[in-house]
Each structure stands twice: as C-alpha cells, then as structure tokens.
Amino acid sequence: MELDIKDLHVATVDGKEIVKGVNLKVKSGEFHVIMGPNGSGKTTLAKAIMGHPGFKITKGNIFVDGKSITSLTPDKRAKLGLFLQFQNPVEIEGVGFVNFLRAARESITDNTVDIKQFMGEVRSYTEKLAITNGIVGRTLNHGFSGGEKKKGEILQMAVLRPAISILDEPDSGLDIDAIKVVASNVNDIMKDHGMGAIVITHYSRILSYMKPQRVHVMHDGKIVAEGGKELILKLEKDGYESVIKDKE
Ligand SMILES: Nc1ncnc2c1ncn2[C@@H]1O[C@H](COP(=O)(O)OP(=O)(O)OP(=O)(O)O)[C@@H](O)[C@H]1O
Ligand SMILES: [Mg+2]
C-alpha cells in the first residue's frame, strides 16, 4: 500500500484550521516518525487520515494507491488496511475485548472467524505482549490501566494485520520493560506482514528499539523539518526551537 497525503488542510467541524498543508508519503514496510510540540496537530492529522467525524478536510487530498479516500467512512478505510492506535483509547461499556477483536477481524476480512483458532492466535499475542491480569477476558478498555490500554491496541493491530498503521504515542505511559515489548512486537509485525508504520512520539526511547527511515517534525499544523535519525538527536540537544527557527 502507498499512502500519499497531499497539501492536507484539516479543520474542526466548526471551522478552526489545525492541519495547514501537510505532505507525507508512506509505503508498506516503511517506518516513519512524527514528532512535534504539544498542540502542533499530530493527533488531528492521524484522525483525519482515518476519517474521524470531528474533523473535515478543507483542502488537499489523501490517496491510497492512487485513489482518494477522503469520502470513505472510517470502517472503509480500515478495510483498505489503515489502522490507528489512539493516543487515548476509549472505554467501550459492555463489549468484551475478545468479541470486539473477533468482530473487527470479521468485518475487515469479510470472513467468519473460527473461534478456537482465533483464541489460540489471541493467546499467542498476549504472551508475546506480556499482557497479564486477564484483560482479554474483560470489557474493552474498562478499568484497564494506561499501559494495558496501549498494549491492548497493539494486540488489536496484531490481529487485524493492517497494511499501514498510525501509532499515536504508543510509548506514553508505558513502563521501561513495556516500551521494549511494544517496540519489538511492532517490529515483528512489520517484518512478518510487511506493515508500514507512522509512529507519533515525544521521546527517543522507543527509537532505541525501532529504526525509522524518516523523521518528520510538525509545528503549527505543518511539517517544518524532515530527516533521518540524526534529527531526533538534534531535537534532544537543541529543542524544537532550533528546527522551527531554521525554517523561519
Ligand atoms: N475538536 C477541537 N476543537 C478545537 N480545537 C481542537 C480540537 N481538536 C484539536 N484542537 C486543537 O488543535 C491543536 C492540535 O491538537 P492535536 O491533538 O492534533 O495536537 P498534538 O500535536 O497531537 O499534541 P500532543 O503532542 O499534545 O498530543 C490543539 O491546540 C488542540 O487544542
Ligand atoms: Mg496528540
């Protein structure tokens, strides 16, 4: 899959422009990182890619393999192979986690799922992700700790096998061991299924375990700097001001 974002402008439904002309191209198998100060529009960009109803595209386009997806509903975009891990996963009252996973897989693949085989698959991923406390047997995200929610979303990603995933701060709120586990699982899914990934993060820690091809820095709704891993080191050393000033 090739995701091609062209001059994308995104506003809230009541007209406040947040993303102000983003260009970004990501292919399956590639690993991109988006960094940027709080409030620069990273989450809004991610939500717009998935078709979140709280935002509208006011200019530009999002293409998947050359076709515009901007009129597609989020479920259609998921069916094409896009996946978003939310910065703040929501609790869904009354929906069992395993049933949710199964329904999502059935909807995306248009195939019924053999429950026994599926449970085996889920179990193997929960082991790999070191998911404990029986969360898969519980209501989705209800009472999950912050880290459990994040790992739960990685489990969802593993089960759905998207072509390109957007991970919005997969490392926030995770303990030191959990960051390693999450990074290595994302790496494995990329390797085994050729998944592409856009990881939004504030910290370089997760990048000790994952090797990005390209780093993009967002500021005030635009990408203001791009580079390789060395850009992250520069940001850590000199702060965002340095790259924002370079641009202005
Ligand atoms: N529905 C909304 N209505 C009004 N303003 C909004 C709405 N959604 C987002 N914003 C604003 O848009 C800006 C960008 O928000 P966004 O969540 O995309 O930032 P971010 O780069 O993900 O920040 P962080 O690093 O803190 O997660 C913020 O100033 C935010 O308050
Ligand atoms: Mg955000």
Name the residue ranges covered by the structural domains of the chain: 2-88+162-247
Instruction: Among 10, 18, 201, say which to mutate for ligand 1: greatest number of ligand atoms within 8 Å of CB.
Output: 18
> Residue 2: its pLDDT value, please?
98
Nearest ligand 1 atom to the CA of 55 is 1
Gap from CA of 39 to ligand 1 centroid (Å): 5
Query: Does the pLDDT of residue 207 top 70, yes or no?
Result: yes
CATH class of 2-88+162-247: alpha beta
How high does pLDDT run on average in the chain? Answer: 94
> Residue 246: its pLDDT value, please?
62
> Residue 126: its pLDDT value, please?
94
Q: Using 50, 70 and 90 to split pLDDT, how confident is the model at 65? A: very high
Q: Using 50, 70 and 90 to split pLDDT, how confident is the model at 248? A: low
Q: HEC profile for the chain?
A: CEEEEEEEEEEECCCCEEEEEEEEEEECCCEEEEECCCCCCHHHHHHHHHCCCCEEEEEEEEEECCEECCCCCHHHHHHHCEEEECCCCCCCCCCEHHHHHHHHHHHHHCCCCCHHHHHHHHHHHHHHCCCCCCHHHCECCCCCCHHHHHHHHHHHHHHHCCCEEEEECCCCCCCHHHHHHHHHHHHHHHHHHCCEEEEECCCCHHHHCCCCCEEEEEECCEEEEEECHHHHHHHHHHCHHHHHHHHC
pTM: 0.96
Q: Using 50, 70 and 90 to split pLDDT, how confident is the model at 90? A: confident
